[in-house]
Amino acid sequence: MTETSSNAAAGTLVTPRRRRRSSARRLETLIPYGLVLPVVVVIGVILGYPLYWLFKLSTEKYGLFELIRHAGTSVGLDNYRSVLHDQVFWHTLLRTVVFTAVNVGLTIGIGMLVALLLVRLSTWVRILLTSGLVLVWSMPVVVAVQVWYWMTNYENGVVNYVLSHLGIGDFYEHDWYATTFSQLSMVTMLIVWGALPFVVITLYAGLAQVPRDLLEAAEVDGARPWRAFRDITLPILKPILLILTSLSIIWDFGVFTQPYLLIGQSKITPGNYLMSIYLFEEGYFKSDYGRGAAISVLMLLIVAALSVVYVRRMMRIGDEVA
């Protein structure tokens, strides 16, 4: 559009001018490329080059010695063979899949309930609760981990005190980090707590699109709340739920900081590995970069497969041009 109007302003049709204009036109078509070029170059260098190295490393024996020498020795697909024959890899993968399913299910499920609750609250309670959610949302992950660690501490953690005094049981000096299940449950609580604000506020914004009169009509017709939710609210929220679910799957599958810091490095064992931690311990911590790279490639492939839904959705949104 702008091109035509600027040409119209130039206005004449003399031949030499036209030639100049057509070369100006060609320049115009180059503008967007010029604009994205810096980003593409920077990303190409700082991400493309390491990604090339990732694949290269995954086919090499590359440890501390090679790191100092800056050169590895090729071993073909040995690293992949070693990882795929490792029981720990398969157990970790299964554990991570279950962990992700539980975390995403809880986040989206509870998030939906809280968003529906928000609609029913009086204005002042709603403002109070959303402010609280935004405050939680703003907490840095590492800070949140430290606070949860302190609250669930076995000696004088406030969680043990509260549970004991509510008459739920005797939690005096109860160690929440004694078993793998308990450890991962603590991590799940931390993750769901941290993820809820984003999910609730997004879903609440989506609920505003649900036509009120339609819900009221359903109520007048005697439809149960569940049916009204399923047949009216849910279809409208579906696209938002789809985005939130796929984002949560991607994030929770690759989660590192929360489990690594909350369980604590000294208590991390192959028995409670999640995918990112497995990769960190086997590759970086043991300085076996070649094998670590093979694990990374496998992990990236899994996440790429998980991202298909999300990326396609975003592509459609990104198609818009003003």
Instruction: Judge whether 89 and 295 are in contact, CB under 8 Å.
Output: yes
Specify the 3-state DSSP secondary structure of 179: coil
Taking the complex as a whole, the smallest distance from the CB of residue 21 to another protein amounts, in Å, to 15
As a residue count, the chain comes to 322
Query: Of 24, 31, 94, 242, which lies in the binding site for another protein, with binding defined by CB under 8 A?
Result: 31
- Closest to another protein by CB, 132 or 271: 132
Q: Which of residues 154-183 bind another protein (CB under 8 A)?
A: 156, 158, 161
Using the contact rule CB under 8 A, the part of the chain among 125-133, 178-186, 213-221, 229-237 near another protein is 125-133
Instruction: Judge whether 245 and 109 are in contact, CB under 8 Å.
Output: no
Q: Is residue 108 close enough to count as binding another protein by CB under 8 A?
A: no
Query: Of 11, 16, 38, 169, which lies in the binding site for another protein, with binding defined by CB under 8 A?
Result: 38
> Measured in Å, how far apart are the chain's first and last C-alpha atoms?
11
Query: Of 26, 85, 120, 212, which lies in the binding site for another protein, with binding defined by CB under 8 A?
Result: 120
Q: What are the backbone dihedrals phi and psi of residue 61, each rounded to the nearest 5 degrees, phi first?
A: -85, 115
Query: Of 216, 264, 269, 286, which lies in the binding site for another protein, with binding defined by CB under 8 A?
Result: 264
Query: Of 135, 178, 217, 242, which lies in the binding site for another protein, with binding defined by CB under 8 A?
Result: 135
Q: Which of residues 271-300 bind another protein (CB under 8 A)?
A: 275-277, 279-280, 283-284, 289, 292-293, 296, 299-300
Q: What are the backbone dihedrals phi and psi of residue 60, each rounded to the nearest 5 degrees, phi first?
A: -125, 155
Instruction: Judge whether 233 and 52 are in contact, CB under 8 Å.
Output: no
Q: Is residue 211 close enough to count as binding another protein by CB under 8 A?
A: no
Q: Is residue 114 close enough to count as binding another protein by CB under 8 A?
A: yes
Which residues 6+ apart lie within 8 Å of 110 measured at CB? 192, 196
- Give kind and range of the element (H or E) at residue 8: helix 2-10
- Closest to another protein by CB, 218 or 296: 296
Cα–Cα distances in angstroms (integers) from residue 218 to residues 120, 172, 238, in the given order: 17, 51, 20
Instruction: Judge whether 176 and 186 are in contact, CB under 8 Å.
Output: yes
- Hey, which residues does 74 pair with through a beta bridge? 60
Whole-angstrom distance, CA of residue 18 vs CA of residue 38: 31
Taking the complex as a whole, the smallest distance from the CB of residue 300 to another protein amounts, in Å, to 5
Query: Of 19, 22, 24, 50, which lies in the binding site for another protein, with binding defined by CB under 8 A?
Result: 50
- Give kind and range of the element (H or E) at residue 149: helix 141-151
Taking the complex as a whole, the smallest distance from the CB of residue 132 to another protein amounts, in Å, to 4
Sort 54 into a burial class: Cβ within 10 Å, 0-12 / 13-18 / 19+.
middle
Taking the complex as a whole, the smallest distance from the CB of residue 26 to another protein amounts, in Å, to 13
- Closest to another protein by CB, 15 or 165: 165
Q: Is residue 84 close enough to count as binding another protein by CB under 8 A?
A: no
- Closest to another protein by CB, 87 or 156: 156
Q: Is residue 12 close enough to count as binding another protein by CB under 8 A?
A: no
Give the count of residues interacting with another protein (CB under 8 A). 107
Taking the complex as a whole, the smallest distance from the CB of residue 225 to another protein amounts, in Å, to 12
Query: Of 12, 15, 87, 122, which lies in the binding site for another protein, with binding defined by CB under 8 A?
Result: 122
Taking each helix axis as running N to C, give the angle between helix 123-137 and helix 180-207, from 0 to 180 degrees, rounded to the nearest 10. Answer: 130
